Chains A and B, each alone.
Chain A
Amino acid sequence: MSAQRATGTNGSQGSPGRILQRLYHRYVVPDFQDHRLFSERTGAWEIVKYGERRHVVWLLSETWVAILIAAISLALTLAAPAGPAQLVLAGVCLVSQLYFLFKLVDWSVTRFYVTDYRLVELGGFLDLRLNEIPKTKLTDIQLRQSLLGKLLGYGTIRVETAGQNQALNEIEYIRLPQVLNRELSSHSLT
């Protein structure tokens, strides 16, 4: 099996839209198409069985402090007289907003995929984050879903392999965890 770049099927390679898209995927948000694997044995690309992002509850659990700070500092900025105090408060509000914005975009572009060969986390805004585990190396899969998680549609998946250190140990607040569990266990535990 080897990693290959998928050839485009539509549009010219040098068109401005194509160039912008390549730059966007190279420097801003990664493209899953670049990281697919091609099997010489079967002559086929991997098939994506599951592709979801984390649930929005993860975003809120990561950013609620920043949201609170941004709201409070904005209210204080509006009430403060013009001067250094207003600038400092506005700076605090700006930093909190940028932190929230970064987390928001990072959340929206980070994906968890299950193909017929591996479990992949691919994402990152401005940086690249790629973690993967071959499904054949999975030994244990745990699914945890609280009452709220069942109501809202998120859960935690914990996977274990034979190795000591693994790339994806615990995936929290994943959407549709029962589907992920089913797709992971369909091949790995047989």
Chain B
Amino acid sequence: MDAEKGERIALVVLGALITAIGLLFFKLTFLPLVVRGVLSVAPLAVGLACIWTATLGWEEVGSGRRKENPEELLSVERLFLVPLAALALTGLVAILVAPGLMPVVRIVLGLSTAVTLAVVGGLTVGRIRIPSRQLGRQESTRRPPRPPQPPRP
């Protein structure tokens, strides 16, 4: 078994342990439901993130072997942006369907939330490309041969 495979298995085990801790918190019935929910959500999220990173989102982060598409977001970064996009989408739907909202509030907040959703969603799916490192390589980088050095006296 190579080191990378062992690392991924260890990460899955760690994620499972943290997830189990989150579930244990939820089993503490002597605590109020809100407290149990708050205590269990964070370990659950971290544990599932560990498992996801080790399986579907695995990348050679930090090793310098990730050579292709350096402009793309890391999978872990997408994982962070998805909840923000979901939050913006929920807010946009709520703004559009909520009764009793003033028209100016509905229009202005709807527009700003839609723009936020578009930018976060665009970044999440990797559609927004920004100054590329490849620009530095379009020109020829070949160095001319060095002129012959005069013989030292």
Question: Max chain A CB contacts within 10 Å: which of B61, B115, B128, B141?
Answer: B61
Residue of A nearest to B84 (CB): A67
Does chain B have a CB within 8 A of A36?
yes
Which bracket fits the contact residues of B? 35 or more
Q: Could you tell me which residues of chain A, from 103 to 135, have a CB within 8 Å of some CB in chain B?
A: 104-105, 108-109, 111, 113, 115, 122
Compute how far the CA of A130 lies from the CA of B132 in the bound complex, rounded to whole angstroms. Answer: 16
Which bracket fits the contact residues of A? 35 or more
Number of interchain pairs (Cβ within 8 Å): 142
Does chain A have a CB within 8 A of B135?
yes
Does chain B have a CB within 8 A of A82?
yes
Q: Are A81 and B100 in contact (CB under 8 A)?
A: yes
A25-58 CB mask vs B (1 if < 8 Å, else 0) is 0000111110010000011111110111001110
Select which of B98, B116, B136 is within 8 A of A97 by beta carbon: B116
Compute how far the CA of A9 lies from the CA of B64 in the bound complex, rounded to whole angstroms. Answer: 31
Does chain A have a CB within 8 A of B123?
yes
Select which of B95, B102, B116 is within 8 A of A82 by beta carbon: B102
* Known A-B contacts A43-B143, A47-B141, A56-B81; A179 and B136 likewise in contact (beta carbons under 8 Å): no
Find chain B residues with CB under 8 A from A90 CB: 102, 105, 108-109
Q: Are A105 and B119 in contact (CB under 8 A)?
A: yes
Compute how far the CA of A77 lies from the CA of B26 in the bound complex, rounded to whole angstroms. Answer: 32
Compute how far the CA of A40 lies from the CA of B138 in the bound complex, rounded to whole angstroms. Answer: 18
Q: Are A52 and B70 in contact (CB under 8 A)?
A: yes
From A12-20, A148-156, A161-169, the one touching the partner chain is: A148-156
Select which of B74, B101, B104, B131 is within 8 A of A29 by beta carbon: B131
Find chain B residues with CB under 8 A from A175 CB: 74
Find chain A residues with CB under 8 A from B63 CB: 178
Select which of B77, B116, B123, B136 is within 8 A of A47 by beta carbon: B136
* 14 cross-chain CB contacts under 8 A: A29-B130, A44-B140, A46-B136, A51-B70, A56-B76, A56-B77, A56-B81, A57-B80, A90-B108, A90-B109, A101-B115, A111-B130, A111-B133, A175-B74
Q: Which residues of B contact A (CB under 8 A)?
A: 11, 50, 53, 59, 61-64, 66, 70-71, 73-74, 76-77, 80-81, 84, 87, 91, 94-95, 98, 100-102, 104-105, 108-109, 112-113, 115-116, 119-120, 123, 128, 130-133, 135-144
* Known pairs A97-B112, A122-B131 / 16 extra A-B pairs, C-beta < 8 Å: A30-B131, A31-B135, A45-B140, A48-B133, A48-B136, A48-B137, A74-B109, A90-B108, A97-B113, A101-B112, A104-B119, A108-B123, A111-B131, A152-B53, A153-B59, A153-B61
